[in-house]
Amino acid sequence: MTVIVDDAGSGDLLFGVVIGAYREETGEFTYDLIGVKFYQDRFCKKEYLQEASRVTAQLLEKLKVKPDEEVHVCQGNIFDVAVADLQKVHGEERVIRVRVTGEAQRLVEIAYLDEVRNLGYEPLPEREDKRAKSFFHMMRWLKAHPDMLRYAKTGWPRLKRYRLFNKPQQEEDMYEAVCSECGSPCAVPFKPEPNRPVFCHVCWKKRMPRRRRKAVNS
């Protein structure tokens, strides 16, 4: 008897990661999730590795792994901590890292696709063969649905090159001031200087056409 553990969604922009466990001989399958929060602000701490270990252990407990049963775990580095922890419990000879294919891989992938469809996103049919195209497809969907950014793996450092994932200027970076034109209190993204006029958002917009005309006529 063999239980196979695999993951899906680790390299995808949208949602967290699905981890599934499949008993080959009986067709039993169960899965759980590593929440997307582990791939956001907490990503640099690599807490997802411990979470992967916790989820994997729970899945094996749910399947009631037998004393003589082998556990085959995907080679992906998301399972580095999980494998070390499992080998302490079940023994190194029973917990083996493998390249997962076939039905186990298919079921875990289906579980991930079902989860992202629940968000309203429809994956590309050829996403497995065209990972880069799938990444940008998900990004375009997030641009069209900015309220769904909370389900994106925003902790990836490479995303900083894209404007979509750059956080807006924080409130502490703004400075309190008084508009030089209407006298209303306002906040500006620079430290006000005594001899420099400051304008609130409304007055600034009113002044823009005049500034442009002056530039054209000069």
Give the H or E element holding residue 20.
strand 17-23
Domains identified in the chain and CATH numbers: 2-165 (3.30.420), 171-217 (no CATH)
CA distance 72 to 100: 8
Give me the residue label for tokens 């590593």.
34
| 3-class DSSP state of 170 | coil
Residue 179 is predicted with a pLDDT of 85
For residue 120, the model assigns a pLDDT of: 94
pLDDT(45) > 70? yes
Exposure of 214 in the CB half-sphere (CA atoms within 13 A): 5
Residue 215: CB atoms within 10 A of its CB come to 8
Q: How far apart are CA 205 and CA 73, in angstroms?
A: 59
Amino acid at site 120: G
**What pLDDT score was predicted for residue 94?**
96
Provide the token pair at 136: 């940008």
**What is the token pair recorded at 213?**
């005309």
Torsions phi, psi for 20 (to 5 deg): -125, 150
* Region 18-46 average pLDDT: 95
CA–CA gap between residue 218 and residue 206 (Å, rounded): 20
Average pLDDT over residues 143-160: 92
Q: Write out pLDDT tens, residues 82-130.
A: 999 999 999 999 999 999 999 999 999 999 999 999 999 999 988 878 8
Site of tokens 């990661």:
17
pLDDT score for 216: 39
Which one, of 103, 88, 119, lies nearest residue 25 by Cα?
103
pLDDT for residue 207: 65
3-state secondary structure of 147: helix
